[in-house]
Amino acid sequence: MQYKMIFTRLRLFALLFSLNVIFLCGVFGQDEVSVLGEVVVADLSFNDENLNFVIGEVKIPSHWSGIEVLDQDLNWILVQGNGEVEINDNIQTGWRIVRGTHSKEWYAQFRSPKYRMNAEGGIEKLTNWSGMLGSSPVGGSRFQRVWPEHSVLSDGAWLKFATGQEGIFKIGYADLVASGVNPDTIDFASIQLFGGGGRALPFQNNDDRPLDLPLIKVHADGATDGIFNQEDAIYFYASGVDSWNWNPSSERWQHELNPWSDSAYYFLRINGPQNVFGSRIENAADVSLPVLDELETHLAKEFHEIESHNIAKSGREFYGERFTSLGSQIYGFSFNIPNLIGDSGWVDSRIAGRTLGATSNYLMQCNGTEVSTTDISLSESSLLLAQKRNLSLHVPMSGDGVNVEMSFEPGNADAEGWIDYVRVQARQALVFSSGQFFINGTENMSFNHAARYRLTESSSVDQIWDVTDPLSPRRNLLSQEGDVTTWKAQQDTTRRFVAFRYGAAKSVRPMGSVDNIDLHGLGHLDLVIVTVPLLDSAARRLATLHANQGMRVAVVSQREVFDAFSSGSPDPTALKMLMMMLWDRAESDADKPKYLQLMGDGSYFNRNLDPDGVNLLTFQSANSESTVSSYVTDDYFGLLEEGMGESPGDKLAIGVGRIPAPTLSQALAFVSKVETYSGANEDSTAGAGCETEGSSTTFGPWRNRIIFVTDDQDGNNNDGWRHMSDSEVHSNRVSEEHGEYDIIKIYPDSYLQEATPGGERYNEAEAEIARKVEEGALIIDYIGHGGDRGWAHERILNTTTIREWTNKKRLPVFMTATCELSRYDDPEVESAGEMIVFNPDGGAVGMLTTTRTVFSGGNQELNTAFFKTVLDEDEGTGQLRCLGDICKDTKNSSDVTSVTNMRNFSLLGDPAMQLAYPTHRVFVTEIPDTIKSLDLVKMSGFVGTSSGDTLHEFNGFVYPKVFDKRSQISTLDNDNVAGAFSYTMYRNVIHKGVASVIDGVFEFEFVVPRDIDYTYGSGRVSLYAVDGDLDAHGASEDFVIGGTSENVGNDNLGPTIQLYMNDSLFVRGDITNEDPWLYARLFDESGINTVGNGIGHDLKAVLDDKFESPFILNTYFSADLDTYKSGVVKYPFNDLEDGAHSLELKVWDVQNNSAVASTEFLVVNSLEVALASVIAYPNPAYDHVSFRVSHNQVCNVVDALVEVYDVTGKKIKVFESELLAHGNRTDIAEWNLRDGNGGDVPAGVYVFKIKMTTKNGVSAQYGSKVIVVRP
């Protein structure tokens, strides 16, 4: 059997080009764009001051194979003052093809560093690109990866070993024993070693990398007898996790630290095919080329870099030694490089410093020479947390080592700095001075020549290997003269050699056996869930949900991914490679993967992640010194297409979401919410109960609501006006393009601001937000300031409120354009966003939310793209999007130019979940042209398809809500900043009811209240309909409302009121918990007035005689089925104090007749169980008896126990149950008057005991008697 490692680079070239003439237009961040067929003329302007690169996009008429620049002009301007300018060397100037907001939309994207240095040393900024592009006749270099059909680890017996630094390593007899294997049973010829060496995988998709575990060539010592004896061993070269690259321009080496791991892993197969080709090291080919260079020295190199401090707690750039004004100001570093020849060498270092309002000095000294930097000075408004600087010294180096000293002169008491690395390169004589000696080949390239190397004091050397290709080392052919060893090698590249003694081989760390995996054997998938062992059961439960919906789903562990794609080392690119493999293999769009679900918490401290721990690896940006340019993003795992990498301008191919659960219980709780959200309809429960609108179903009018919340005007550059204006843009778009949805606006500046010891507060706005979340909405959008503890400095949303939400049956998707609400990768902080996601009883079902600092301009771009996407079908597929599609298409939108800002938004949730969009449409067919005060109005319509066909099989209910004209609202300008902000909203409800839908058709009636606004204007009726698992929505604004009816009947009687707490079993004086519901049944022949326009005519409740602070309940009334004359009011109170309370409810009918009802109740905190009364009824009992208890555990889950005894004390019957009570009076058991054996009990007196126990162990019990009578 022969193993062959297949790399990525197979070149395909497109050979056809056509020029068609069509006319289109498109704009992206530019002044002007025009398109002539396959030729595009564009003018791009670059204005984002927060980035060190520029990106511009131009829409193209089709998916071009490539781009040809036909004409261009780049405008560079000189920058005045270069204090915080950073030249980005990681982005090459050029064009590429990227996808747009739907599956058939494509753009040409321009990328370039924003700054460059001119010939005079000045810094210039790119401000504009103009020119002409054409579809290239040649697509350029296109990569086609040929993935193995099965993983190397798919069969066989395997052992795993760890290494760290570079060197020759040995796997010996003792290592096999430590791995749990008897070496005496192993056939030497059946051993093969696999591993990639441990270096970080490349970020760019087009860069070469192994596509599976590569086979490593080893030297087998003792293989001649075929038996692994105690003195036998396998020797192999490990490249180490860090890498070096030769820079021809600077003529010195640059090192690259692996940002993810200090260890490399190798996999030993102990029962493979015998004598596999390529599994054993071979001699290097004889070099007959003429010798150009005779080498007795080389450029030795070492570096010091410690990863311990992350300045921003973000990004993958860590620092080591720390300077402060109080601590050590000098650090010394010694590099053991013997036999230096005295030539000048290089010392390079990088530091980061933070000094506000002053200047600190950093000095580097070596061999009496020093260099310093003194421009580390940041302003209070700087977006940088620290500023990087490089220092270099070119000094003579001789002797047996190099000593470097780094020192710090702080500019003030708060100044601090960090050392990133210190790197030394010096000319060293080729003298074998240790058990393993590494030689760097000549940097002088000449393909037609060879170099001869001369190593002295080398008589003890056993082998010299050429390890230039770490996966395929070769034994050099050596010549030995005394203690001098020579060999030749071609000068085609900068080679690396190692001279060693077998006795100096380094030891591996045995890691035990490895299970077989076959990720390469996966077929076409729609959804991949990557998780950790702790959360596996939750992941499989989510997978089952989507599999039952028809998706192709696989659950894999991150350890499996690392073993298959990154040789066992933690590396985020391994997760990307899994998805790249599935993407590459797809033969059609239907075969392509669509979603990646990451289930596991994450941390910015990614290094040396335990693959089996609680955290899933996160992808962190390169920058760790800025509050805005450093980010964590799961988008990286979805950048799968050719030419993509890690650039903020790269486009998503799939939807990616994360459930950052740190525990199994939280993961299961979230999956339960997704199951509930996606589940079938359920029956409603009578009474107010524990559910808004008295319903336990996930269906309801909440699916037809979109809520917009903003920050207020807090004196910060009129931000409040901007936040509200931005919100108006989005709400107006929804109103114009999706008028069937009801829009609710909560702008805190419209409420009275209150001064409290804790700062300014909007108590009414805070309460309104909490209520609206409880009532549910399809989407909740927030724009404004915030942080990891909630929204706005007035705390209109805080962690206390979040934890108290119980809206599990009405879960919204949150879009939050605010800073750091969901910083899930900081293990020291539980962010407000995480609380919203993991509240097991409510909160959100998903969030497109921020993990870092963001800016209002970029937020507005993303929010605009979101609302262009979230309610629309994909134009390419004609289908509604799932949450991952919404996130992908939002971020891919040409509206989004602040691409780094965009990366600071993450999807927390299930990307494969579709929003609870109502499926069908409700059409209004009969509606008066004009509706007047006190008119009896009839409206009718039907439930149908989007094309207008009646759904005759639809038999259910429709919930109409009729609004008076738009209300003109002005904010209060509480902070006296910019004056009142005006906006409009439909908010005064004149009728809210429910009507039957029969064979798809419905009608309903109502009387218009006297208190409408008499001016004429457009009203609105919105409708939501449901029949089992089908629902529909619609709206109409095609009628006028105003004026007074000419035919008004006489009605002098006020409404009839039946007032309860929680449910209709309540009796005056009963106990409740601290969160009871007002529940009232109302009747009036003319109908109930809820419009809210008349002064003093609101439907309102007064608690404890506080008439100055009434509860306005207009929107909480709903009419009964098929009538406007009766209905119910349900309103939740929160956090009432223990003790006695009074409640008064005042109700008006549509003709302004009023009535008042009152009641009293006793609040006992639900942390303690209180049983006010226990009854058995009927009593005496003839054939059955029910046990009813009055308690304070409404909406809490409790364990209920009923025990029945006869007069001798013998236990006759036991009832045990888990109870969720919807009211404070609950029947907890019914007894059929039979004993535990099924026999009838005789007549007599029986004693029963009832005990209720909460989940935290608090209990109460009550006993009484029941008389059994027999005929």
Tell me: do 985 and 942 sit in the same domain.
yes
* pLDDT (average), residues 181-185: 92
Predicted pLDDT at 715: 54
What is the rounded end-to-end Cα distance, in angstroms, of the chain?
A: 90
Predicted pLDDT at 28: 37
Q: How many CB atoms lie within 10 A of CB 86?
A: 20
Predicted pLDDT at 714: 66
Residues 632 and 314 sit within 8 Å (Cβ to Cβ): yes
More confident of the two residues 315 and 1118: 315
Strands of 1171-1177's sheet in order across: 1171-1177, 1185-1191, 1225-1231
Mean pLDDT for all residues in the chain: 89
Residues 50 and 86 sit within 8 Å (Cβ to Cβ): no
Q: State the Cα–Cα distance between residues 1069 and 1160, nearest whole angstrom.
A: 5
Structure tokens given for 1203: 């025990």
Structure tokens given for 962: 């009729």
Q: Which residues on neighbouring strands pair with residue 995, listed in sequence order?
A: 958
**For residue 678, how far is the Cα from the chain centroid?**
20
Q: Is residue 670 part of a domain?
A: no
Residue that terminates a domain, selected from 482, 513, 544: 513
Q: Is residue 935 part of a domain?
A: yes
Tell me: do 419 and 439 sit in the same domain.
no
* SS3 state of residue 1051: coil
By the 10 Å C-beta count (0-12 exposed, 13-18 middle, 19+ buried), 1199 is classed as middle
Predicted pLDDT at 692: 46
Tell me: do 928 and 814 sit in the same domain.
no
Predicted pLDDT at 254: 93
List, for residues 1186-1218, the tens digit of each pLDDT value: 988 887 776 667 888 999 998 888 899 999 887
Tell me: do 529 and 632 sit in the same domain.
yes
Identify the CATH number of the domain in which residue 1136 sits.
Answer: 2.60.40.650
**For residue 300, how far is the Cα from the chain centroid?**
45
Q: Which residues contact 1197 (CB under 8 A, 6 or more apart)?
A: 1218, 1219, 1220, 1255
Residues 1172 and 1066 sit within 8 Å (Cβ to Cβ): no
Predicted pLDDT at 4: 30
Strands of 779-783's sheet in order across: 553-557, 527-531, 595-599, 655-659, 905-909, 846-850, 813-817, 779-783, 705-710, 742-746
Which percentage of the chain shows pLDDT scores above 90?
Answer: 65
Q: State the Cα–Cα distance between residues 1088 and 1117, nearest whole angstrom.
A: 9
Phi, psi of 710 (to 5 degrees): -130, 170
* pLDDT (average), residues 954-964: 95
Residues 134 and 71 sit within 8 Å (Cβ to Cβ): no
Counted residue by residue, the chain has a size of 1271
Residues 764 and 746 sit within 8 Å (Cβ to Cβ): no
Identify the CATH number of the domain in which residue 898 sits.
Answer: 3.40.50.1460
Identify the CATH number of the domain in which residue 303 sits.
Answer: 2.60.120
DSSP 8-state assignment for residue 874: P
Q: Is the dihedral of CA 695, 700, 703, 709 positive or negative?
A: negative
Tell me: do 243 and 354 sit in the same domain.
no
Tell me: do 764 and 825 sit in the same domain.
yes
What does DSSP say about strands 655-659 and 595-599: parallel, antiparallel, or unpaired?
Answer: parallel
More confident of the two residues 670 and 1114: 670
Confidence of residue 66 (pLDDT cuts 50, 70, 90): confident
Q: Is residue 688 part of a domain?
A: no
Q: What is the pTM of this model?
A: 0.85
Residues 799 and 833 sit within 8 Å (Cβ to Cβ): no
Indicate the residue type of 571.
D
* SS3 state of residue 987: coil
* SS3 state of residue 735: helix
**For residue 463, how far is the Cα from the chain centroid?**
52
Residues 553 and 545 sit within 8 Å (Cβ to Cβ): no
Tell me: do 1020 and 1067 sit in the same domain.
no
Tell me: do 711 and 816 sit in the same domain.
yes
Confidence of residue 563 (pLDDT cuts 50, 70, 90): very high
Tell me: do 883 and 943 sit in the same domain.
no
Residue that terminates a domain, selected from 400, 429, 458: 429
Alpha-carbon separation of residue 862 from 44, 449, 718, 724, 917 (angstroms): 20, 57, 21, 16, 21
Q: Is residue 142 part of a domain?
A: no
Given its phi and psi angles, is residue 156 left (phi above 0), alpha (psi -120 to 50 degrees) or beta? left
Q: Which residues contact 450 (CB under 8 A, 6 or more apart)?
A: 287, 289, 290, 291, 292, 488, 489, 490, 491
Residues 237 and 196 sit within 8 Å (Cβ to Cβ): no
Q: Is residue 968 part of a domain?
A: yes
Instruction: State the DSSP string of 372-420.
Output: EEEEE-B-TT-SBS-EEEEEEEEEEEEES-EEEEEEEE-SSTT-EEEEE
Tell me: do 458 and 364 sit in the same domain.
no
List, for residues 493-525, the tens digit of each pLDDT value: 999 999 999 999 999 999 999 999 999 999 999
Identify the CATH number of the domain in which residue 1188 sits.
Answer: 2.60.40.2360
* SS3 state of residue 550: coil
Alpha-carbon separation of residue 867 from 565, 653, 734, 860, 861 (angstroms): 38, 20, 7, 11, 10
List, for residues 8-35, the tens digit of each pLDDT value: 333 222 222 333 333 333 333 334 444 4
Closest Cα partner for 937 from 1091, 1085, 1041, 1038?
A: 1041
Q: State the Cα–Cα distance between residues 1009 and 1011, nearest whole angstrom.
A: 5
Tell me: do 567 and 588 sit in the same domain.
yes
Burial 684-699, CB ≥16 within 10 A → b, else e? bbebbbbbbbbbebbb
Beta strands in 884-966 (DSSP E): 905-909, 920-926, 930-933, 936-944, 956-963
Confidence of residue 840 (pLDDT cuts 50, 70, 90): very high
Alpha-carbon separation of residue 677 from 567, 811, 834, 915, 1028 (angstroms): 39, 7, 18, 9, 15
By the 10 Å C-beta count (0-12 exposed, 13-18 middle, 19+ buried), 152 is classed as buried
Indicate the residue type of 575.
L
Assess whether pLDDT exceeds 60 at residue 140: no
Residue that terminates a domain, selected from 444, 479, 513: 513
Residues 369 and 329 sit within 8 Å (Cβ to Cβ): no
Predicted pLDDT at 1132: 87
Least confident of 575-579, 718-722, 902-906: 718-722
Please give the residue range of the domain that contains residue 739.
702-909
Q: State the Cα–Cα distance between residues 539 and 208, nearest whole angstrom.
A: 32
Which percentage of the chain shows pLDDT scores above 70?
Answer: 92
**SS3 sequence, 306-356?**
CCCECCCCCCCCCECCEEECCCCCEEEEEECCCCEEEEEEEEEEEEEEECE
Q: How many CB atoms lie within 10 A of CB 1183?
A: 12
List, for residues 776-822, the tens digit of each pLDDT value: 999 999 999 999 999 998 999 999 999 999 999 999 999 999 999 99
Total domain count, the chain:
8
Q: Is residue 146 part of a domain?
A: no
* pLDDT (average), residues 840-860: 94
* SS3 state of residue 654: coil
Q: Is residue 665 part of a domain?
A: no
Residues 284 and 477 sit within 8 Å (Cβ to Cβ): yes
Tell me: do 768 and 620 sit in the same domain.
no
* SS3 state of residue 721: helix
Q: How many CB atoms lie within 10 A of CB 92?
A: 8
Predicted pLDDT at 433: 86
Structure tokens given for 995: 């009507």
Phi, psi of 162 (to 5 degrees): -115, 145
Q: Is residue 40 part of a domain?
A: yes
List, for residues 986-1029, the tens digit of each pLDDT value: 999 999 999 999 999 999 999 999 889 899 999 999 999 999 88
Identify the CATH number of the domain in which residue 572 sits.
Answer: 3.40.50.10390
Alpha-carbon separation of residue 29 from 26, 75, 109, 112, 159 (angstroms): 10, 16, 11, 15, 55
